[in-house]
């Protein structure tokens, strides 16, 4: 599959060949959903906690004797039916992460790239570099693409000026190559890949 390579002003500067195995894979919505759920579950901090019967403060002494008082029988005043008592089956600090096989995760990234390519929402950039760290100029340049939201995946390192120039732009995300992930790709409307990113991702993803 041939695709145009553009510069940051949306001018065509060349052509590039995309590997069909990576950029024209069949659309597996279910795999994308699994991957997104995996990512969102994995990033949860899991810092939620309530106190059970054994953890709430207070004595474990039997409040009054079993018989003869005319009152209901109780063994503890911190049992779950009491005000100030423990909570049954409440949230505890834990990891919410689930497992997903590496091959499925790879397949999901291939699928996400292919979805963007088939929808025409994939733009190949010559390079993601800015001359000066000026957000205003960057916003003007990116407006040429007429996209509501953008994710740029650059090479292994992001150009410092480009990073600074895009940092404060709403709906524009920039990730280095290692950060390429399904959730962020689907979250933004248009995906921008640099030449380097395409080569590296193809190398990484072409085999199952």
Partner 1 sequence: MKLNELKPNPGAVTKAFSVGRGIGSGKGKTSGRGVKGQKARTGVALKGFQGGQMPLERRLPKVGFTNVGRIDYATVTLRRIQDALDAGKIDPKKPVDEQALLNAGVVRRLREGVKVIGNAVLTAKLELSVTHATKGAIAAIEKAGGKIAVARPDRADVPPPPKKLPKKNA
Which residue ranges make up the site for partner 1 (CB under 8 A)?
Answer: 27, 29-30, 32-33, 36, 115, 119, 183, 186-187
Q: Any long-range contacts for 55-59 (C-beta under 8 Å, 24+ apart)? A: 55/86, 56/84, 56/85, 56/86, 58/84
Neighbours of 58 (CB within 10 A): 13
Complex with partner 1: residue 5 or 107, whichever CB lies closer: 107
Could you give phi then psi for residue 20, rounded to 5 degrees?
A: -65, -30
CB of 33 to partner 1, least distance (A): 4
Beta strand residue intervals within 35-171, DSSP E: 122-125, 150-153
Complex with partner 1: residue 105 or 134, whichever CB lies closer: 105
CB of 24 to partner 1, least distance (A): 15
CB of 193 to partner 1, least distance (A): 17
Complex with partner 1: residue 33 or 208, whichever CB lies closer: 33
Question: Bridge partners of 15?
Answer: 4
CB of 130 to partner 1, least distance (A): 29
Complex with partner 1: residue 30 or 55, whichever CB lies closer: 30
Question: Bridge partners of 153?
Answer: 175, 193
CB of 77 to partner 1, least distance (A): 27
Complex with partner 1: residue 117 or 128, whichever CB lies closer: 117
Q: How many whole angstroms separate alpha carbon 166 and alpha carbon 152? A: 10
Complex with partner 1: residue 34 or 130, whichever CB lies closer: 34
Q: Distance of alpha carbon 114 from its chain centroid, rounded?
A: 18
Strands 150-153 and 12-17: unpaired
Neighbours of 22 (CB within 10 A): 23
CB of 116 to partner 1, least distance (A): 8
Q: How many whole angstroms separate alpha carbon 47 and alpha carbon 91? A: 9
């Amino acid at each position: 599959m041939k695709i145009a390579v553009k510069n940051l002003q949306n001018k065509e500067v060349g052509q590039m060949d995309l590997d069909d195995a990576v950029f024209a894979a069949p659309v597996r919505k279910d795999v994308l959903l699994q991957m997104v759920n995996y990512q969102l579950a994995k990033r949860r901090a899991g810092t939620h906690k309530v106190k059970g019967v054994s953890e709430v403060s207070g004595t474990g002494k039997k409040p009054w004797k079993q018989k003869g008082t005319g009152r209901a029988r109780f063994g503890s005043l911190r049992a779950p039916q009491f005000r100030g008592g423990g909570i049954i089956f409440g949230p505890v600090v834990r990891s919410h992460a689930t497992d997903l096989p590496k091959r499925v995760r790879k397949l999901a990234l291939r699928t996400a790239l292919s979805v963007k390519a088939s929808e025409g929402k994939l733009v190949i950039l010559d390079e993601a570099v800015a001359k000066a760290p000026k957000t205003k100029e960057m916003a003007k340049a990116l407006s040429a693409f007429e996209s509501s939201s953008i994710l740029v995946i650059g090479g292994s390192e992001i150009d410092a000026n480009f990073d600074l120039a895009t940092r404060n732009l709403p709906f524009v995300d920039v990730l280095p190559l290692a950060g390429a992930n399904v959730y962020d790709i689907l979250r933004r409307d248009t995906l921008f890949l640099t030449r380097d990113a395409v080569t590296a991702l193809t190398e990484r993803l072409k085999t199952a």
